[in-house]
Amino acid sequence: MNLVRTAMLLAFMTALFMLVGFMIGGRGGMMIAFLMAAGMNFFSYWNSDRMVLSAYRAQEIDERNAPEFYTIIRDLSHNAGLPMPKVYLYDSPQPNAFATGRNPENAAVAASTGLLSALSPEEVAGVMAHELAHVQNRDTLTMTLTATLAGAISMLGNFAFFFGGNRENNNNPLGFIGVLLAMIVAPLAAMMVQMAISRTREYSADRRGAEICGNPLWLASALGKIARGASHIPNADAERNPATAHMFIINPLTGAGMDNLFSTHPNTENRIAALEEMARSGMNVSTSPARAANPVRKSRSVPNTGLSRGGSQPPKGPWS
């Protein structure tokens, strides 16, 4: 049902984009809008992952400098039947994580240093399973396309504001009213559709992530900690790049997503309740992260990847 809903919302956003082009410039404007959307989506398809990782100054890690974190993701990927993604860490005291990439073969998952400091290995496994669920469901591509289309619709609205559209075009029956709709209503509608798709995909990723890691309560516990941390600890990079907020497991701007038309994330309490219901329904649970053959050892430092700014020591946490 979530997949059907997402497809319908994407189709609506595409139709809205074409309609905006028509309202501004008639049939010619609609064709220009279509070509513009195709070009922007093509660029985003190939470059969005590098742009996002660069925006957060994420550094790739491997089994040598973060063996336990890397092992958890490798085992989770095996559980999900996915290729091993590239693994990144970015320096932020706010606990959070995101996934990016155009397909499972070219995916990347990233976690903050704050996430590894604040969460237990079991909770980290739940979070990264959620991100791998996004990869498996191809949500990373879906959300990239919706963000691109929403941005393009807003750009067309700005174009209408500055240039007034083709008011005399006989193919544009709405005339100046159509231009006003393109300026005001269409960008707002595109934003609401983008956020609706994001909320839908989060619920699906929560459920699939719980299946991948084997214990819904790991992710439920992690969501509560991340939400509390995000509401009190700012993420400067996210504040500079608010268009990327929908990619994170919890909104990095406020940490207080609500199930309404203007939220990028579902209400955290609702997500936790759904995961707890999964556990009560009798889902088999694991007792070690990602059902790994080698249990995670709890040592006392985050991976030494040189991410800590100013040469200071990285925060303490259950990682070696």
134 is in an annotated binding site: yes
What is the distance of C-alpha 284 from the center of its chain? 27
Structure tokens at 258: 């609500």
To the query of whether residue 131 is one of the catalytic residues in this protein, the response is: yes
Reduced to 3 states, what is the DSSP secondary structure of residue 228? helix
CA atoms of 246 and 187, how far apart (whole Å): 17
Q: Spot the catalytic one: 60, 122, 131, 276.
A: 131
Are 123 and 218 contacting, i.e. CB atoms less than 8 angstroms apart? yes
Mapped onto helix, strand or coil, the DSSP state of residue 98 is: strand
Strands 107-112 and 97-101: antiparallel
User: Does the annotation flag 168 for ligand binding?
Assistant: no
> Contact at 8 Å (CB) between 5 and 137?
no
Q: Give backbone dihedrals phi and psi of 287, rounded to 5 degrees, phi first.
A: -115, 0
Q: Rounded to a whole number, what is the distance in angstroms from the first to the last CA of the chain?
A: 41
Q: What is the DSSP letter of 71?
A: H
Judge whether 202 is annotated as a binding position.
yes
Distance CA 132, CA 210 (A): 11
Distance of alpha carbon 56 from alpha carbon 89, whole angstroms: 9
Strand pairing class (86-90; 107-112): parallel
Give the length of the chain. 320
Nearest to 153 by CA among 260, 30, 251, 48: 30
C-alpha to C-alpha distances, 77 to 16, 59, 87, 111, nearest whole angstrom:
37, 20, 12, 16
SS3 content of the chain, % helix, strand, coil (to 5): 65, 5, 30
Q: Which residues are annotated as a binding site?
A: 130, 134, 202
Write out the catalytic residue numbers: 131
Q: Which residues are annotated as a binding site for Zn(2+)?
A: 130, 134, 202
